[in-house]
Structure 1
Amino acid sequence: MKLVFILLLSTTWMLCGAQFYYQALMDYLENRLLAIEDHMHLWKEQSRQYHMELQDLHKRSKKTIEGLKQGHSMLSTDVEAAAARLNRVEQNVDFVESQTSPRACANQADRVLEQGVWSEEESRGEEEEEWEELPSRVTDCVEIISAIRSVKILKRVGGSKGVWLRDPRSSKVYVFNGTAGDTIYQFESVKEFLQGSPGVALGRPIRLPSNWRGSGVAVYNGYLYYIQQGEDMNVVRYDIIGGRLMDVAILPVESRAAVYSLNPETVADLAVDDQGLWLLYASGETEPNINLAKMDPVSLDIEQIWDTRCPRENSEAAFIVCGVVYVVYNTLQTSRSRVQCVFDVNDKVVSEEAPLFYFPRRYGGHASLKYNAEEKQIYSWDDGYQILYRLTTKRKMLV
């Protein structure tokens, strides 16, 4: 009997303990579920708040974007208006600069009066006055540039530096892409050069017997003149039509110093005008000025040499018209190219009284300027753009 009682008591105790344990477990699980529900409610509230904030941010962003679009449109309109005003200002500045050009760096010489291009009526009206021309020493040309009449941007072909020019004795155009190479391209005319899409010019390639260097090239009466790449300063004369090397001349210079400080690749510059072939060069690294030489276009002999007194510093290019050298200057941070030094081999023109003009603002700096005496215009290479400058000339007369 006692054993049965103890067994019943143990069973009852175990059942009460199990019930208590399960009750505690249920309470724990219920509390955890309530905690999870509270967290889920909190997350729901936070998600709703974040969603509302995102909607508000989207609305504000949309308003901001619309405001930016309106501001961009207004800014574009203002920029276009400013560009138009700047263009008018530059035109006015060009006019003022053409009327009041700065003095160039040159020495004093005989005073010269530059008269405008005379019409027949004006010439008859001035017959009673006595005008005496200076005797010609090197050339018989009596013209000097007075202004740039017009500018025409034709195309953009090739790299930032190069040369393009036309033979004054024919319609053929030649393109030198870059500052060195052994291949040039020939076009039958400017019109053919313009054909094709922008950035593409398909001309007839011409392989030269040696590499050319710099922008100091010239084409005259079917012959190409260029500075040969190498240690010596060699001038090469090449027959373009016959495709053969005609002559090579070594220039008596101390070193291959750049003739223009802003275009160091050009150690010498060959130029052609009404009177023939010219050479612009620096006799050495320490030479501050640009030297000029008159060359025989057949034998390449140097006939006469001058010190132009035009400094090499800040010079970018030069061209020659009627025996007058026009040196173009700029800055390292390209600005407005300007003719600031003029030298006349006949001493008819005093640089201080010569019309020193600015080129219209375009892209960068001139890599080359090649005058064509037949057309009275300059073939220019400006940051890959091929540009034509048409010129206006005056007569050089003595007081």
Structure 2
Amino acid sequence: MTVFEDSTSSYKSTMELLINHIEPSDFANYQCVAKNEIGKTTGKFQLEELDKNLARPPTFDLETTPGIKFGPGPPDKVELNDLCPPAPICQTTCPDTQKYSQSCKSGLYSVFELLSYKSLDVRPLLSPTVYPGLHNRDLNCLVYAVGKPVYHKSVNSTYGSWMRDPGPSQIEFGHDTIWTTNETDAKHLLEYSNKTTFRLSILSRKYELMYEFMGSAHVVFNGSFFYNKKDEPVVVRYELISRLSTEKTLPYAAINNSTGLYSEKHNYMDFAVDDNGLWVIYGLANSNNTVVVKMDAKDLEIQYAWNISVSHRKAGEMFIVCGVLYVVQSNTETTTNIRFALDLFTNKRVEVDIPFTNPFRRTTMIGYNHKNKELYTWDKGNQLTYPIRYHDQGLANQTNKEEQGTADSAYYNQTGFEVD
């Protein structure tokens, strides 16, 4: 599935379903689903061969049959005066500023608030000599756009996670394997063998964990499930094949009301994976600061740790791409922005202004999958993906592949959910 904006209107987007290598068995009925906070529309269609010489000619003629519309249409156009009524008479006294506080949280104001109205301060969490240090960056890129969200599935659960392993493919697991967790069952990790079984909720495996997890910001990476041990500042690596667990206590991490991450305060640790490996984001104990830890995914050794003067409770969510920390301003506003980014390899702030949407106004999990170049999110029980676009900073005189018009350009907009 490919999604792109309509060039004639910023309020429209177009979805294209591309079916490759069609066999006779593929001629069947299909459906596409569009969903938002208002409702859901399903479009059903039949795939058939366009050959007039067949014994039963096709029922659809591209030259004479107009397009088919599904769902309610847009509202009728109204007069400009109805849209913009006369301005009300100004009050003689000052209005209540609290009423307009949310609309003011944009631009520089939101960044200053994120930094507690102070200069950005980035320093090692402990003495630099404590850490072995970072490896060279595998990919130097900067995100400049987040695409339209694509709907995949919905469950009746505000908190949860869904994950795919961006690491090298394991023999035991196909590249389409999906794992999920449920907020009501912290003892088990659920596995679905492919996209179809995931959509139909047909389990292939159910793992019983040695320790319960907490939160919903976990990851699956290189055949292991990484999560926050319940009620402890501990990272657990659970190997899916051997089903053995390894633990690591994080420095200056605490599990209490003051360290709940982001404005949601549901998670205490936010795990992230990019081309450089495993990261953990958490709140610094007895402080408003944010800690980012880079870990070795095999032995959980801490390679480096940052103490960043970013008030995580003022943020909606965070994620990491190419070693750059991105802060989503709100997880509950339908339209929000990413206006703060920090390059963890250079300790320098990066200027960004990227629109982001929460279509169901309750995003409680954002994870980046560098294999698919997508963000995976959980928004009020809806599992969504967002294609991202980035510039390769390592190629000074060359634009990214999308702008060059190579065959890879469509890959950035694919959902990963093909028609089986």
| TM surpasses 0.5 | yes
Q: Does 1:287 align with 2:287?
A: yes
**1:4 corresponding residue in structure 2:** none
Shift in Å, 1:138? 4.8
Distance in 2 of aligned mates of 1:254 and 1:158: 31
Residue deviations 1:245-304 (CA, integer Å, cap 9, x gap)? 2x11112225224352322221111111100111101121x3222111111111212111
**1:187 corresponding residue in structure 2:** 192
Shift in Å, 1:365? 2.1
Equivalence map 1:140-289=2 (5 Å): 140-169=138-167, 170=169, 171=175, 172-178=177-183, 181-194=186-199, 196=200, 200=201, 202-230=203-231, 232-245=232-245, 247-253=246-252, 255-256=254-255, 257-284=258-285, 286-289=286-289
CA spacing shift, 1:348–1:268, aligned 2, 3 Å: closer
Letter in 2 for 1:251: L
Q: TM-score w.r.t. structure 1 length?
A: 0.61
Distance in 1 of aligned mates of 2:348 and 2:238: 34
CA spacing shift, 1:379–1:203, aligned 2, 3 Å: farther
Q: Is the 8 A contact 1:317 1:327 kept in 2?
A: yes
**1:344 corresponding residue in structure 2:** 343
Q: Is the 8 A contact 1:226 1:235 kept in 2?
A: yes
Structure 2 residue runs without a partner (length 5+)? 1-71, 78-105, 122-133, 170-174, 398-420
Distance in 2 of aligned mates of 1:179 and 1:280: 24
Query: What is the SS of the residue equivalent to 2:198?
Result: helix
Distance in 1 of aligned mates of 2:190 and 2:357: 28
Q: Is the 8 A contact 2:120 2:309 kept in 1?
A: no
Q: TM-score w.r.t. structure 2 length?
A: 0.58
CA spacing shift, 1:137–1:226, aligned 2, 3 Å: closer
Residue of 364, 371, 375 corresponding to 2:372: 375
* Greater displacement, 258-267 / 162-171: 258-267
Distance in 1 of aligned mates of 2:260 and 2:393: 28
Shift in Å, 1:178? 1.8
**1:102 corresponding residue in structure 2:** 107
**2:327 corresponding residue in structure 1:** 327
Query: What is the SS of the residue equivalent to 1:160?
Result: coil
**1:365 corresponding residue in structure 2:** 362
Query: What is the SS of the residue equivalent to 1:209?
Result: coil
Shift in Å, 1:229? 0.3
Equivalence map 1:30-45=2 (5 Å): none
Shift in Å, 1:149? 2.8
Shift in Å, 1:349? 5.8
Shift in Å, 1:385? 0.1
Q: Is the 8 A contact 2:328 2:356 kept in 1?
A: no
**Max radius of gyration: which structure?**
1
Q: Is the 8 A contact 1:330 1:365 kept in 2?
A: no
CA spacing shift, 1:312–1:80, aligned 2, 3 Å: same
Equivalence map 1:39-54=2 (5 Å): none
Q: Identity of paired residues, percent?
A: 25
Residue deviations 1:36-70 (CA, integer Å, cap 9, x gap)? xxxxxxxxxxxxxxxxxxxxxxxxxxxxxxxxxxx
Q: Is the 8 A contact 1:348 1:396 kept in 2?
A: no
Residue deviations 1:314-362 (CA, integer Å, cap 9, x gap)? 323211111001122217x6443432321111228633x22x2122340
Q: Is the 8 A contact 1:324 1:345 kept in 2?
A: yes
Distance in 2 of aligned mates of 1:280 and 1:340: 18
**1:139 corresponding residue in structure 2:** 137
Letter in 2 for 1:366: T
CA spacing shift, 1:358–1:309, aligned 2, 3 Å: farther
Q: How many residues align?
A: 271
Q: Is the 8 A contact 1:363 1:383 kept in 2?
A: yes
CA spacing shift, 1:344–1:210, aligned 2, 3 Å: same
* Greater displacement, 165-174 / 205-214: 165-174
Letter in 1 for 2:308: T
Query: What is the SS of the residue equivalent to 1:265?
Result: coil
Equivalence map 1:309-328=2 (5 Å): 309-328=309-328
Residue deviations 1:77-127 (CA, integer Å, cap 9, x gap)? 897448xxxxxxxxxxxxxxxxxx934457579xxxxxxxxxxxxxxxxxx
Shift in Å, 1:207? 1.2
Structure 1 residue runs without a partner (length 5+)? 1-76, 83-100, 110-135
